[in-house]
Amino acid sequence: MKQIRIGLVGAGVVGSNLLQLLEKNRQTIQTRNQLDLQVVAIATRTPSKIQHLTQIPISTDAKSIASREDVDIVVELVGGTEIASEVVHSALKNKKAVVTANKALLSEKGDELFQLAFENGVEIGYEAAVAGSIPIIRTLRDGLSSCEFEVICGILNGTTNFILTKMEEEDWDYGTALKVAQDLGFAESDPTFDVEGIDAAHKISLLASLAYRSKVPFSNLKVEGISKLKSIDIQASKSLGYRIKLLGISKITNGGILTKVHPTLVPLNHPLANVMNESNAVFYKTVEAGAGMVTGKGAGGLPTASAVLADLIYYGSRIRIQDKILENNSYPISKKSREQENKVRNYLRFSTLDKPGVLSEIARILGKNDISIASVQQKESEKEPVNVIVVTHESNEGNFAQSLSEIDKASFIKEKTVAIRLLENL
């Protein structure tokens, strides 16, 4: 039986769950996989929180784990891009495999880390970095390796999906839904990373790079969050036959790979529309295999720890196999698609004064920029501002940007216009 010695860096929620999973499943893993996974070293900022889970000496020196001779795989679960980067760099230079759940690190610095791993004859497992327990990394890399991708997109953040679900089902405003998410532990006290789309952007950049075998840098992405959405947007979208989701979307266009994160009106009959609460999902469309979707728990200590353990089993089984073909996740930088080449339909909510001529002026500006209106909604209101909701036909993104810049300068507009793209042709 092969023994694999593990150095764990970071023992918070995911790390502590991993320790428990390893102990619970040790016998099963030995029987099924002929692997003896042994944690031999742990480093964490708060040793007292996990002392009851293990007899292994616990250190606060994260960097020391990466250079220990008695460690085969370093599991990095500290998060962030500073200490984590130093730990992973050191581990790879010391020819140790790495398993991580750190999407920010890989999205921002993955190219150099993957290249360093390849040069040193080791590998990086990151199944837990995207969509929690959903096995999407190996699905893309192995199961669909023969396919040419046209689109990959998904609900990649459980916090925002929970908030949007509760805004619809309970008719809560954004602030109330966020507070409940925080109370339940689905959102941090500072939710910016989640609600402004940064977390989803890190994840879709990793998925797009893997699907297209072309590096899609996080810095290239245009990112919009959900904090400006109101209950009226949720309910109006539903009445139009759509449900708002925060999506990471990457697709092939004539100008290159277009990758973005933004709230999106998803048709109610699309499978992504029915992924609710804190669940995640990844939808893809390929030339050869058509469309497919995988869904499941996208966050949480136990689901994420299960993905880490799956990587430990997979990469542990590959250690000391002399003739294995190393995975190489280093790709050339993609050609970035120009924004104005992307054609979309939009849901637009204008907050306006209630006076004659407002709608005709909005229509005039849209028409001047080659945008035609498909439908208009305006509910009677006793107080200003009033909400005018317009759904457009397809037009260039650049035309929308120009139109909204002009409209938002008008004296009758009281708040910045909310624009949400419609998901179609998937």
Bridge partners of 279, per DSSP, are 297
Q: Do the bridges between strand 242-253 and strand 149-155 make them parallel or antiparallel, or are there none, so unpaired?
A: antiparallel
Q: What is the pLDDT of residues 79-101, one digit of tens each?
A: 888 899 999 999 999 999 999 99
Residue that is written with structure tokens 């001779």 in the block: 69
The fold of the 341-422 domain, in CATH, is: Alpha-Beta Plaits (3.30.70)
CA-based end-to-end distance of the chain: 47
Q: Is 297 a catalytic residue?
A: no
Q: Which two tokens stand for residue 252?
A: 């092939």
Q: Which listed CATH number (3.40.50.1220, 3.40.50.300, 3.40.50.720, 1.10.275.10) goes with 2-132+301-318?
A: 3.40.50.720
Residue 117's pLDDT is what? 95
Q: Which amino acid is at 126?
A: Y
Measured CA to CA, the distance from residue 148 to residue 287 in angstroms comes to 6
| Domain extents in the chain | 2-132+301-318, 136-297, 341-422
16 is in an annotated binding site: yes
Whether residue 244 contacts residue 238, with contact meaning beta carbons closer than 8 Å, is answered with no
- How large is the average pLDDT for residues 280-301? 92
Q: What is the pLDDT of residues 229-238, one digit of tens each?
A: 999 999 999 9
- How large is the average pLDDT for residues 217-229? 93
Residue 10's pLDDT is what? 93
Q: Is 321 helix (H, G, I), strand (E, B) or coil?
A: coil
* DSSP conformational letter for 53: G
Out of 203, 215, 260, 297, which one is annotated catalytic? 203
188 is in an annotated binding site: yes
Please give the class, per CATH, of domain 136-297: alpha beta
Residue 407 predicted with pLDDT over 90: yes
Q: Which amino acid is at 185?
A: G
Q: What is the pLDDT of residues 165-183, one digit of tens each?
A: 999 999 999 999 999 999 9
296 is in an annotated binding site: no
| Residue among 296, 281, 127, 279 nearest 206 (CA) | 127
Confidence of residue 54 (pLDDT cuts 50, 70, 90): confident
Whether residue 234 contacts residue 168, with contact meaning beta carbons closer than 8 Å, is answered with yes
Average pLDDT, the chain: 91
14 is in an annotated binding site: yes
Sort 74 into a burial class: Cβ within 10 Å, 0-12 / 13-18 / 19+: buried
10 is in an annotated binding site: yes
Measured CA to CA, the distance from residue 387 to residue 145 in angstroms comes to 47
Question: Biggest alpha carbon distance in the chain?
Answer: 81
Can you give the pTM of this predicted structure? 0.91
Whether residue 417 contacts residue 350, with contact meaning beta carbons closer than 8 Å, is answered with yes
391 is in an annotated binding site: no
Q: Which helix (H) or strand (E) holds 206?
A: helix 198-212
